[in-house]
Copies of this chain bind each other. A is one copy, B any other.
Amino acid sequence: MVRIALDAMGGDFAPAEIVKGAVLASQELSVEIILVGDPQKVGQELQKYKDKGKLPVVAASEVIGMDESPAQAVKQKKDASINVAVSLVKEGKADAIVSAGNTGALMAASLFKLGRIPGIERPAIAGEFPLPAGKVILLDLGANVDCKAKHLQQFALMGSLYAKHTMHIENPRVGLLNIGEEKEKGNELTREAWPLLKELPINFIGNVESKEILQGKADVIVCDGFVGNLILKFGESLGASVFQMLKSELSKGVMNKIGLAFLLPALFRLRKKVTYDDYGGAPLLGIAGTVFKAHGRAKAPAIKNAIRETVEAVNGDMTSKLRENL
């Protein structure tokens, strides 16, 4: 059974929603979850679910805040939950880590303790965008704000392998995020990266424009971490903002209120799609170990989803597949 070290203290709704997500996951999935954090606080949360079996807790006396400087915090707070969770994997006591905490700290702790897969200079965060139909993997989402063309090349290869071995997409279509279709289009970085992606043993489909992200033109889209982070967060906010406008339009006048009553179930389904409540985890590709980042605002269902994806990555032998193919 896959063993997951779950950072119980990381994320905006920790530890309550993290523990709740762990309980959900342990009931629905074939997984052993090790909660890492303040034993008292985590224990209190676990009490709420005591009729649902026991989950082991590993003590960590410190927490790295969402806004702390990553490298410094990881070095100074040796007993932070992120550090302890990563150590469990290093020591062979767990197979993978899931954290909704400080992204930079998770990356730094993973780099220090687990290291990189040979051939990868810069591990990348690969996140899923839900599409009207299916999903797309975008990477990097913020680990590398200044990239060289060769880094984008490595992202493309890792993204393709991840899509193939964990998402089970046969011949994943990999695109380069750009502002035009032709290979001459774009900035210096993308113009240099294009031929490097072209020479990889992957299904490179060329440039993908931002308006095509949601159309499902590619399974994997590559960009630098500055751009990826901007697009990700803009997408989240725009989905929420359109929903907000909808709600405010629909609450004007009696006719709309009547109409709204009929539509509530459909609107709730839509809301799930646009506000990313069901969002899962984002793997840190290139780390010599399986590390998944859950969204900082993840609640229990999203934590459960992140755990499910992490289990799939371990079962699909993600890290070995990357190691063999790089």
Q: How far is the CA of A63 from the CA of B234 in the complex (A)?
A: 36
Q: How far is the CA of A233 from the CA of B180 in the complex (A)?
A: 11
List residues of chain B with CB within 8 A of the CB of A211.
233-234, 236-237
Asked whether any CB of chain B lies closer than 8 Å to the CB of A146, the reply is: yes
Name A267's closest neighbour in chain B (CB-CB): B249
A210 close to B230 (CB less than 8 A): yes
Most B C-beta atoms less than 10 A away, residue of A179, A212, A214, A270: A179
Binds B, one of A5-13, A108-116, A251-259: A251-259
Oligomer: number of copies: 2
Q: How far is the CA of A239 from the CA of B239 in the complex (A)?
A: 8
Interface SS of A by simple majority:
helix
Q: How far is the CA of A237 from the CA of B216 in the complex (A)?
A: 12
Name A215's closest neighbour in chain B (CB-CB): B237
With contacts A145-B187, A249-B266, A263-B260 taken as known, whether A239 is within 8 angstroms of B237 at the C-beta atoms is no
| Residues of A near any B CB (own CB < 8 A) | 132, 142, 145-146, 177, 179, 186-188, 190, 209-215, 224, 226-227, 229-231, 233-239, 241-246, 248-250, 252-253, 255-256, 258-263, 265-267, 269-270, 273-274
Q: 5 nearest interchain CB pairs?
A: A259-B262, A210-B234, A211-B237, A259-B263, A145-B187
